[in-house]
Each structure stands twice: as structure tokens, then as C-alpha cells.
Amino acid sequence: MPSLKGIRKRIVSTKATQKITRAMKMVAGARLTRAQQRIVAMRPYAVKTGEVLQSVSRTMAAAGESQDEPAHPLLAKRPENKTLFLVFTADRGLCGALNTNINKATERFWREKEGGNVGVSFATMGRKGREYLGRRGGKVLQDFPRIYDGLDLEKARLVSGWVASHFQKGEFDSVYLVFNEFKSAITQKVVVDRLLPLVPVSAQPAEGASPQSDFIYEPNQPALLERLVPMYIEITIYRALLESQASFFGAQMTAMDAATRNAKDMIARLTLEYNRARQAGITKELMEIVGGAEALKE
């Protein structure tokens, strides 16, 4: 049986750990509230930007734009020989399986692409993804360190500018986003979306779809597309960053809540073990005293 001193030390250290996990849970909860407000405000804007881009592309296709020459370089569709994965992970751990899920999904799609003779490279947002891919020999072309610190649209614009310039140079033929979509504090969904090339939708709406409204474009559709396509990439990457940040805080809050409860259960078990050991020690001492007294009577 462990000594009373050893059990006391374990109780003290577990209580200290419980204080830390409880504080981390409270901090993550406060940050989650702000992050959740930002992503809820961003989602409608990102969706509407995509709808406007589709509307412009559809209108230009209906007007008989050349299919051989895309309306915008980022709409160019090439045979997929080289692809880039933008991997969004966290810079820190203590968030359950959040980073593990992203890394495993990335590796799964990586191996699938390689099985189809497609060259795969990576750009990472977050230290955990960079370290995971580095250990497995992944080709990391670019890392954006500490991108979540003071996250704003300028940081998303930095990433989108790098991606767009390399795509137009033909260094890769497609770009995919791998990130956690925030559902709730206890639910995050791994999403793999194609970012580039931006393929315009068909000029004919699908059967049963609502008719599109007629718009007047100023100055003209090509000029609007020239501004709209880069903006759409920026907004999409910014949304992925916000989703990843909110998912991290939600996962961390959930993990620290579970750790706090586990620490509470452990303290209760150790306290019970301590009391039993203490009682056994007292009983042993009493038996020694009684035995000694009986010996003196003889």
C-alpha cells in the first residue's frame, strides 16, 4: 500500500492540475464566444459572395463566352498533375482529437492523390499540421506561422495572394482546403473543399431550381469578375481560418471540462485511499499498544 505521504503528494498535485484545467476551460469558453460570433457573422457574407460569383459566371457563360479561354486565370481548369493542400490545424494541443482528425484526413487524401499519380504539396496554417507532415515526409512548400494570433482579413489576404500567384504560374493545378468546420463546442466536422480552380456553374439552372434574378453589372462583367474572384478566395480562406479557430476553442473547452471532471474523480478516489491507509495505520498502532499492555500484565 502506498505511504500516506505519497498519497498526499498525489492529491496536492491533482488539485493543482484541476485548477489549471478549470482556468483553461474558462479562458477557452470566453474566447469561443468571440470566435463564434465572428464565424456566425462571416458565414452569410461568404455564402453570398459565392452566389454572386456563380451568378456572374453563369451570365457570362449564357452570353457565349469562349470555353477555351477562361474569363479569369483562376477559372482555368487544367489536368490535375500537381495539387496543393491548405491544411488548417492549431498551434497548440490540449484540444482532444481536433488536430489528429485533421492530420489523418489530410494524409488519407494525400495517399489517394498519390495513388492517382498526382504530385502533392502542402501549405500549413498551424504548428501541429506542419510537424505531422514533416514527420511523414510531406512536401511543405509554405508555412504561415502564428497566423491565428490577431487573426484578421489581412492574414487571409496574405495566404490567398500566395496561393493565387503560384496557381497562375502553373506550379499546381488544383488547391484543396482541409479544415474543421465549427458546429458546436462539442462537434467539429472535418471538411475537404476544392478552392481552385474556380469552375463556373452551368449556364442552365438545374431542374426545379428557382430562377435567377436579372442584374445590371457596372462597369461590366469581366471587370467585376476580376475583382470578385480574388475576393472570393480571400473570404473563403478567412472563413476556414475562423472556423478552425472557433473549432479549437470549442474542442479545448470540452477537453478541459472533461479533464477537470476526471481530476475531481481522481481526488475523490485518492482521498478515500488516503483515509483507508490512515485508518489502517491507526488500527495497527492501537493493536501494538494493546499487545504491549497485555505483555506487561504477564
* pLDDT block averages, 10 residues each, the chain of length 298: 84 94 93 89 83 72 55 76 94 90 94 90 93 92 91 91 89 92 89 80 46 60 77 91 93 93 94 88 82 75
**3-state SS track over 129-178:** HHHHHHHCCCCEEEECCCCCCCCCHHHHHHHHHHHHHHHHCCCCCEEEEE
Neighbours of 134 (CB within 10 A): 14
Question: Cα separation of 86 and 160, whole Å?
Answer: 10
Q: Which pLDDT score, from 0 to 100, does residue 210 have?
A: 47
Domains and CATH numbers, the chain: 4-21+256-297 (1.10.287.80), 34-253 (3.40.1380.10)
Beta bridge partners of 178: 87, 192
Helix axes 98-115, 127-135, angle to 10 degrees: 40
| CB-count burial class (<10 Å; 0-12, 13-18, 19+) for 125 | buried
In this predicted structure, what is the pLDDT of residue 239?
92
Catalytic residue of the set 71, 95, 120, 156: 95
The predicted structure's pLDDT at residue 99: 93
pLDDT of residue 71: 62
pLDDT of res. 63: 57
**pTM assigned to the model:** 0.83
Answer yes or no: 95 catalytic: yes
